Chains A and B, each alone.
Chain A
Amino acid sequence: MQIYLPIAEVSVNAFLLLGLGGLVGVLSGMFGVGGGFLMTPLLFFIGIPPAVAVATEANQIVASSFSGVLAHFRRKTVDLRMGVVLLTGGLIGAALGVKVFALLKEMGQVDLLVKLCYVVFLGVIGGLMFVESLNSIRKARRVGAPAPRRRRAAWVQALPLKIKFRTSGLYISVIPPLLVGLFVGVLSAIMGVGGGFIMVPAMIYLLGMPTKVVVGTSLFQIIFVTGFSTLLHATTNYTVDVVLAVLLLVGGVIGAQIGTRIGTRMKAEQLRILLAGMVLLVCFKLGLDLLIEPSELYSIGTEGGH
């Protein structure tokens, strides 16, 4: 069934959008990532104008994250205090990111920089996670005991303004989570993603949060940051397509519920190695696109797109 999207001004198959939403929703629930890093390129691929894809994707992530976070709230795996700290940084970061984005747009190389951002971040994070999870799985097998407590970066311990994060079982300074939130906020505005794929590893490796609460807390923060970007895009670029968003989110919220249930049945190491594999796969594909000569060297950009 074809449906005409009023803002994107293209006609697409409704079932294709529902399917895409569902698929990405499952991943979102499993890993606590918004799924934007997969969905945004997929939307480009089916012919949605990039500006509309990025803005609408933000709106859709709000829905799937909200659906996912409710399940985590019931299991008490959301660290609200940590979430609020991350969120504060995230909102400032998103506002900053929009400014940076406008600057890059003026320089005329925004597409390339967005893609390079993807390749670099996905590559580094995916690689690190993959190696780390492989090691911990190997260790767990050999000793037959649970993986050892992860070490926190030493400088994180030395900072002032310490707060007790009871749900995470942490007593650390607010500065590192604030910075993590800020950084993710900037990236989310530039790359058009929720930023979970960066925040989840940062929470595990940098802040030393237990994997159990990482997903729920990440989803909690993502809701607000992507909600903020949705409003920003809607009021400045008029590029949020609500019909597209509804189709994606109907598939997405159902997928997220399924994903959350799959996620709780899997071991943390398995979950991480799967996420790492996925991140590396997307990174590889995007990198390849930059390296291989495109079949059409020319492209058309209309006003308002990026």
Chain B
Amino acid sequence: MLRLLIIATLLWALPAGAEKVVLGLSQDEVAITATFDGSSLLIFGAVKREEPLPQDSDLDVIITVSGPPGPLDIRRKERRMGIWVNTDSVHLLHAPSFYAVASTRPLDQILNMDDDQHHIISVDYVMTTVGPAHAAPELDVFTDALVRIRSEADLYQQHETGVALDQETLFRTSLDLPANLVEGIYSMRIFLVRDGAVVDRYDTTIEVHKVGMERWLYNLAHERPLAYGIMSLVIAIAAGWLASAAFRMFQR
């Protein structure tokens, strides 16, 4: 299990009256090796404040992790002449390959709609930014399907009580990254919320990339495809010959 440890570094003086997320990343990458089977992302942090704790409202923390966005098509099947056929489809330009949102309490109890929309926090608002290539009827039906399918694959995650907050100061959460992770820069955001409004926001990134043999093969396949193709064929033929030779030896 890989641990990404984010340690609070309570070093800087902050503007009076503000509550701030302060963090130091001890590790900011996820390495995909040959035996990569998903990993668990552990996120720690602390809230720095200059003034005494307000008594009339509760502090809540929301953490989001978003994978590199990319274009995709969502297709719908319909029965035509007795068989199920893809009919309508919607093309999206920037659907995130991964999106997880974890919070101390359900989002609708702690966050007002304006701030949700402004910071694009809940999956519903993320889906308004995915940008269909053309105005599509029933767009929401298609994006709902996208969320449903990706949620089942653990690519879109919602953890409504996933963040633990101690003494309104120390928070932590653990996110499970699935095995079929896309390479690239993942953006992480941490929000402090009071009375439905975001009082502070902290942005950082995590890099997910292949290493070792995985990296080498991927690069070869994309940079020198002919060499890679020939290598694949040579391996196939050698394996075929070897198996044949081995079986003849056994039979003698």
Contact = CB atoms under 8 A, between A and B. Distances in A.
B84 A291 contact: yes
A63 B235 CA distance: 8
A194 to B, nearest CB: 13
A230 B228 CA distance: 10
B240 A112 contact: no
Contacts of B75: 298-301
Interface stretch (B5-13, B41-49, B115-123, B210-218): B210-218
Interface string B56-85: 000000000000001111111111001111
A18 B85 CA distance: 33
Interface size class of A (residues with CB under 8 A): 35 or more
B241 A70 contact: yes
A71 B145 CA distance: 51
Contacts of A68: 240
Nearest to A116: B83
B221 A246 contact: no
Interface stretch (A132-140, A185-193, A236-244): A236-244
A257 interface: yes
A179 B183 CA distance: 45
A3 interface: yes
A240 B229 CA distance: 8
B142 interface: yes
A293 interface: yes
Interface stretch (A78-86, A247-255, A264-272): A247-255
Interface stretch (B28-36, B106-114, B159-167): B28-36
What secondary structure prevails in chain A residues at the interface with B? helix
Contacts, number: 181
A252 to B, nearest CB: 8
Contacts of B225: 234-235, 238
Contacts of A218: none
Given A240-B232, A254-B243, A293-B79, A234 B226 contact: yes
Interface of B: 32-38, 70-79, 82-86, 89, 142, 145-146, 148-150, 179-183, 210, 213-215, 217-218, 221-222, 225-226, 228-233, 235-237, 239-244, 247
**Minimum-distance CB pairs A-B, first 10:** A234-B229, A11-B179, A66-B240, A253-B243, A298-B145, A67-B240, A63-B236, A4-B36, A2-B37, A70-B244
Given A7-B217, A112-B86, 16 more contacts: A6-B210, A59-B233, A59-B236, A63-B237, A65-B240, A112-B85, A231-B226, A234-B229, A235-B229, A238-B225, A242-B232, A253-B243, A257-B244, A291-B82, A299-B86, A302-B73
